[in-house]
Amino acid sequence: MQFIEKRKWFYILSMLVIIPGIVSMFIQGFNLGIDFTGGSMLRYKMDASIPDNEVRATLEDLKIAKEISVQKSDQEFYIRTNELDQVQTQQVTEALQSKYQNVELLSAESVGATIGSELAQNAIMAIVIALILMMIYITFRFEWQFGVAAVLSLVHVVLIVCGVFSLFQWEVNSHFIAAILTIIGYSINDTIVIFDRIRENLRMKRKEPLPNLLNRSIMQTLNRSINTVLTVLMPLITLLIFGGGTIKYFVMALLVGFLVGMYSSICIASPLYYQIKQREVRR
């Protein structure tokens, strides 16, 4: 398949997704969770056999909190909501005690919007630092053209994932940041495999036209890329079906990111390397 010759079609396809996502990010922004907007954290001790989704449903019936997240660790239940006052916290406790036995409120804390803002800044900083370090490593390990192409393909993946979350207004919380960093790590690994094959072929076939060499390198690693992402998607789909609402958007981010990461590694990274290389030759 002529991946390099058809690179403009791949760019157009990516732009059809990225541009609406960027417009959505500017117009309607993100549906930020309480990790960023601030809220309350309630910690209860209850029977470990109680399902976390059942606790969530009980709180939703109260119609006190708009955003509810329930995490379970043995007998401890961590409930995150938008900020509640003492009266509302007491109502939540009474609702749980009326439905379940041996309910004990262990702690009630509030997370201010200032802390949420700092978390957002730290998250962006973590992503930027990760991209810079990856470019430095790839430049040292390969050459700078590979490093620039790899980082641009990662930015392409991050923009698409963020755009999809903005378009569909899926909740963005601290799990989303962890998903983005995981996606970056997965995508760069797939890209490095292709670039490593390109480097090997460059050493062996120096007189071969660069587009032909790049296409051949991609085809040699294509089965590996597809099989890897299919293997990863199987447990993710299982988690999406049976994992409950707590990790739903985390899994959705990984699903979108891994699929786009495979596409980016195959159809974006190598064509970008080719164009950067061609500009250097012209100069």
Residue-range domains of the chain with CATH:
7-33+115-282 (1.20.1640.10), 39-111 (3.30.70.3220)
What CA–CA distance (Å, rounded) separates 37 from 32? 7
Residue with tokens 């094959």: 197
List, in sequence order, every residue forming a beta bridge with 71; answer none if it has no partner: 78
Least confident interval from 8-17, 124-133, 177-186, 239-248: 239-248
* Closest to 56 (Cα-Cα) out of 77, 76, 41, 35: 77
Residue 124 neighbours by CB under 8 Å, 6+ apart: none
Cβ(225)–Cβ(209) below 8 Å: no
Average pLDDT over residues 218-237: 91
* Closest to 64 (Cα-Cα) out of 42, 36, 31, 37: 42
- Say if residue 183's pLDDT is above 70: yes
What CA–CA distance (Å, rounded) separates 281 from 34? 51
- Say if residue 274's pLDDT is above 80: yes
- Say if residue 265's pLDDT is above 80: yes
Taking the C-alpha atoms of 90, 96, 100 and 104 in order, what is their torsion angle to the nearest 10 degrees? -50
Least confident interval from 20-29, 221-230, 238-247, 272-281: 238-247
Question: Chain-wide mean pLDDT for the chain?
Answer: 86
pTM of the predicted model as reported, rounded to 2 decimal places: 0.81
- The per-residue pLDDT for 206 is 67
